[in-house]
Structure 1
Amino acid sequence: MIQLLTPTHWKDYELIDCGDFEKLERFGELILIRPEPQAVWDKALPESEWQKRHHIKFKGRSATTGEWVKKNTKTPDRWHIEYKNPDAAIKFRLGLTSFKHVGIFPEQAVNWDYISSNVKKFKTPNPKVLNLFAYTGGASLIANAAGAETTHVDSIKQVVTWANENQEISGLNNIRWVVEDALKFVKRELKRGKKYNGIILDPPAYGHGPNGEKWKLEDHIKEMMRDVVQLLDPEEHFLILNTYSLGFSSVIIENLVKSAYPQVENFETGELYLQATAGPKLPLGVFGKFCKIKA
């Protein structure tokens, strides 16, 4: 069954409005305006309301880079927010990057709930979780906070350092940090005979490994899925595949998962979105996920 899922209980984040290729968001106490290519409709709130409410706005110099414009020079470049669910609590250090990102993808909170819930349900002592394309570590943190031995893999050293900062301010420890191309890491783990109870994949449409390895979603995701399912513990596991490629649908995700893992149980697929307080829904990727829990 195809689902539409959005975070519902996050006090430190709010999508206020979106439209005209922009989004108005609150992270903690700061309200930001950022570009949003999916928001092709009109804004629900008047432009005057956007201008009155925001503290910082991102202005692009190109399709990928730009600068932040603050109303008040005392507004910080870095600040902290928290995420809580019934199973775990984590914190993030946010920051204004030149790529319009602030260090978090809020729609992923739905997947964080799935991760921590399954880790808590596992009968396996000290379950092992692998987070690939792991960015600043939201999924790694929540798995660790819920009690999993967590391995975090990303090809960019700076974001792994950022994820380590998030671990420290969350009061967590012992996450295994790996700076490597995700596909190479998976192949090496296969040769070692490693198994994981949970695997999270949130691959970009395009990317590069630390040694110049090229990643293109449609070219490499089939190979990745075929390899990564072999790392799953056959008795107890979960897997999440999340993509933010405009060309991918939930049906494509379903076909990928079922082709790579025909014995899949409890499979779910659908679309992640953020519900704006002003009314619109902002689509932000498609997902497939499944789990198996020991009786």
Structure 2
Amino acid sequence: MSVNSIQLLTPQHWEDYELIDCGDFEKLERFGNMILIRPEPQAVWPKGLPEAEWTRRHDIRFKGRSATSGDWHKKRPGLPDRWHVSYRNNDVAVKFRLGLTSFKHVGIFPEQAVNWDYIADTIRAFQTKQPKVLNLFAYTGGASLVARAAGADTTHVDSIKQVVTWANENQELSGLSNIRWVVEDALKFVKRELKRGNRYHGIILDPPAYGHGPKGEKWKLEDHIAEMMRDVVGLLDPNEHFLILNTYSLGFSSVIVENLIKSAMPTVQNLETGELYLQATAGSKLPLGVFGKFRTVG
């Protein structure tokens, strides 16, 4: 078993995204040609740029009404509620439809581009032609699109029908097809795949701290993640595989993720753990989750 030292990773080549500044529990960021201000609970330090600069530069600002919802305030009439951004890494190019949701999200988590690169690079390195990839808690499909664009037979699982529909729209925008869409509780889906004897060359998990399945199933990260990890490693192809576990829970460290993976797969090889962050142009690093990943290439 080999384990690398803890890594700090940030996206390197995304022209359509920029974290301009962060601090005072907010972030100023550019998605394509739109500049947004959104709440950010981890930005506990002071802003790097003056407030007047934030006010001058932004197009739309989110203001919360409660802990879970809020409203978008546009600085001038005519600004869109929806727009598109692109992402490219070598021969893998995908496109996303972004939108202003009532819970501050816009449809992508930019720090995940680090994992997208890992997915694409690993699929390219596989000896298996058209490897099978499973994306759990898959949201609007960033990892699913990248896996499909890199040549994988891709299955996308999320419990919310509306975001799966959004992901399908992103597939069409990206000029892709044939992703398998599944609206289901992720843990139930994994257990059924185990019974069927199905195997995957790649598995991606980006579970929320809390969530609900389409039939009211409850998900709580600390209560269910160990069971989920025990099950998903049983779906991995024994010869060529990769797995990515990413968590955003404020209570989880990369050491916890390392322990979860080792407990589920004691013989794991090439394990990497660390923290994802976004580098602000103004200077600060914004931490946005921890990860563990490993791969075996034939």
- Rounded Cα–Cα distance in structure 1 between residues aligned with 2:227 and 2:154: 23
Deviation at 1:79, TM superposition (A): 0.2
Deviation at 1:73, TM superposition (A): 1.7
* Aligned counterpart in structure 1 of residue 57 of structure 2, from 35, 53, 62: 53
- Rounded Cα–Cα distance in structure 1 between residues aligned with 2:95 and 2:203: 21
Deviation at 1:125, TM superposition (A): 1.4
Question: Does 2:158 correspond to 1:173?
Answer: no
Deviations 1:199-249 (A, max 9, x none): 000000000000000000000000000000000000000000000001100
Q: Secondary structure at the match of 1:131?
A: strand
Deviation at 1:100, TM superposition (A): 0.2
Mapping for residues 6-155 of structure 1, pairs under 5 Å: 6-155=10-159
Deviation at 1:87, TM superposition (A): 3.7
Percent of aligned pairs sharing the same letter: 81
Q: After TM superposition, where is structure 1 displaced by more than 4 Å over at least 4 residues in a row?
A: none
Q: Normalising to structure 1: TM-score of the pair?
A: 0.99
Q: Point out where structure 2 has 5 or more consecutive residues left out of the alignment.
A: none
- Rounded Cα–Cα distance in structure 2 between residues aligned with 1:284 and 1:23: 12
- Rounded Cα–Cα distance in structure 1 between residues aligned with 2:257 and 2:13: 27
Question: Does 2:219 correspond to 1:211?
Answer: no
Superposition RMSD in Å: 0.4
Deviation at 1:263, TM superposition (A): 1.2
Amino acid at match of 2:133: V
- Rounded Cα–Cα distance in structure 1 between residues aligned with 2:21 and 2:73: 19
Deviations 1:155-190 (A, max 9, x none): 000000000000000000000000000000000000
Contact 1:197 1:237 in 2 (8 A): yes
Q: Normalising to structure 2: TM-score of the pair?
A: 0.98
* Aligned counterpart in structure 2 of residue 272 of structure 1, from 247, 254, 276: 276
Deviations 1:37-84 (A, max 9, x none): 000000000000000000000010001100100011200000000000
Question: Does 2:266 correspond to 1:262?
Answer: yes
Task: Tell me the equivalent position of 1:283.
Answer: 287
Contact 1:87 1:116 in 2 (8 A): no
* Aligned counterpart in structure 1 of residue 224 of structure 2, from 217, 220, 223: 220
Deviations 1:86-105 (A, max 9, x none): 14000000000000000000
Contact 1:129 1:151 in 2 (8 A): yes
Amino acid at match of 2:141: G
- Rounded Cα–Cα distance in structure 1 between residues aligned with 2:214 and 2:182: 11
Contact 1:87 1:120 in 2 (8 A): no
- Rounded Cα–Cα distance in structure 1 between residues aligned with 2:22 and 2:55: 13
Deviation at 1:21, TM superposition (A): 0.2
- Rounded Cα–Cα distance in structure 2 between residues aligned with 1:222 and 1:122: 28
Q: How many residues align?
A: 294
* Aligned counterpart in structure 2 of residue 249 of structure 1, from 248, 253, 275: 253
- Rounded Cα–Cα distance in structure 1 between residues aligned with 2:268 and 2:257: 13
- Rounded Cα–Cα distance in structure 1 between residues aligned with 2:122 and 2:52: 44
Amino acid at match of 1:85: N
Task: Tell me the equivalent position of 1:292.
Answer: 296
